[in-house]
Amino acid sequence: VKEDIFYKVESLRDGTSFSSRRVSAFQNDGNEIFSMLSSFQNSECDLEHQKEYMSPNLSSPYGEKLEIHPKLPPFLKNLYSGKLPLEINLLATHKEDKEHGYWFRIGEMTNEEERKLNRILLSYISDFSFLTVALKPHGVNLWDGRIQAATISHSLYYHRDVRLSDWHLFQIYSPVMRGARGLVVGHIFDQSGNLCATSMQEGLLRRMDKD
């Protein structure tokens, strides 16, 4: 993290409604460490629906909180303790629950800042407490030091504009884990139950203590 990172942006397509870009990041004498495909669309009003089962059971952002794991890195302890501008309230769950969720919001921003930063910040938040949900059905915790973890791919689909100074709910579940690879799916809702974004991630989750 102390080395400079150089970004290269390639224009792949500029159409009437959609544009596409490829972003590559390089470090340490030109080694590519990151690549991203981004698609942009002009705002449109057209057909619209949201499946009923996609409407969440909206609890209060100030409800019962999950106990913070004692082995969390200091940065995450500060994050979950409300000591940073990004406020996260983890939802209390039982060990048998296969889903996970948390409420989040960011301190007040000016209108100009919101237009520039809301979707950028949502991309950043979409990776918090995400891949590790694939470990919940197995009773394993990433912070116990027994799991080798790494992200393979991460996708984020925006459905609505967001105002992150308001509370949003991130609900996450894992449909499958096999071959040391876990898949997680997350849905981000506003307080009215509108689905604002969907995120998917596949990652390496390999036991280090297996025979």
Q: Residue 146: CA atoms inside 13 Å, Cβ hemisphere, count?
A: 10
What stretches of 28-98 adopt beta strand conformation (E)?
Answer: 31-41, 86-90
Q: Choose the catalytic residue: 41, 148, 151, 166.
A: 151
Strand partners, 149: 205
Q: In the annotation, is 151 catalytic?
A: yes
Other CB atoms within 10 Å distance of the CB of residue 92:
13
- Greatest Cα pair distance in the chain: 56
Residue 24 CA from chain centroid, whole number:
20
Q: Choose the catalytic residue: 127, 190, 191, 198.
A: 127
Q: In the annotation, is 198 catalytic?
A: no
Q: In the annotation, is 211 catalytic?
A: no
Would you please indicate which residues are annotated as catalytic (active-site) residues? Answer: 127, 151, 201
